[in-house]
Amino acid sequence: MSPSLPLSWRMKRLYVRFMLAFLGHGLAKACGTDRVIRQEIASLPEGFTFSMGVMPSGPSLCMKKDNGQLKAVSNHNKKPDVDIQFKHLGHAFGTLSFQEGTAEAFARERMVVDGDIPASMKLVRCFERLEVLTLPKLIARRIMRYYPAITLKEKLAGALQIYLGVIKGFVVGVVK
């Protein structure tokens, strides 16, 4: 990044990059620990790929279903089955900082979805479930269309497993 860019823009870019990595590690961990996310991912075909990023060449996340689990991949040689792109860094920041929900951002045309639409809806349900498990209820309710009934035990156990998986993912990623 060029030092001539405003500090606020550089901080937003860094935050979006971190949150996309968090989503990737969190979703990968939740595939193995949360029954709702596991069911959604199970219905996707083996080898399914998706990416989420910021246009035109901002931070991005790429994932692939391998052996029934979603795994982050550095890059893939083919067009992803679902490609979700935020039109601008500010739009990505607004959504990933929980100022606006994913469905609202899509409705306001802040992102573009290319590819398998039914599969993209499964991914949105996975992202929303991840929000339910990892965010405080006060924040999650504000950005979601519908907040599902979930016991405190289920929420705390899910959040703990996901956060530990994310931390492990970041540590292993740094050690590599």
User: What is the model's pLDDT at position 175?
Assistant: 42
**Averaged pLDDT for residues 129-150:** 88
pLDDT at 15 over 70: yes
CB-based burial label for 72 (10 Å; 0-12, 13-18, 19+): middle
Query: What totals of helices (H) and strands (E) does the chain contain, helices first?
Result: 7, 5
User: What is the model's pLDDT at position 13?
Assistant: 94
Give residue-wise pLDDT tens across range 67-98: 989 988 876 678 999 999 999 999 999 999 99
In terms of pTM, does the model score above 0.85?
A: yes
Bigger pLDDT: 159 or 176? 159
Please state, in angstroms and rounded to a whole number, the distance separating the CA atoms of residues 136 and 7. 29
User: What is the model's pLDDT at position 169?
Assistant: 82
Is there a contact between 63 and 50 (Cβ–Cβ < 8 Å)? yes
Structural domains of the chain, ranges and CATH numbers in brackets: 7-175 (3.30.1050.10)
Is there a contact between 140 and 148 (Cβ–Cβ < 8 Å)? no
Give residue-wise pLDDT tens across range 20-53: 999 999 999 999 899 999 999 999 999 999 999 9
Give residue-wise pLDDT tens across range 87-129: 999 999 999 999 988 878 888 999 999 999 999 999 988 988 9
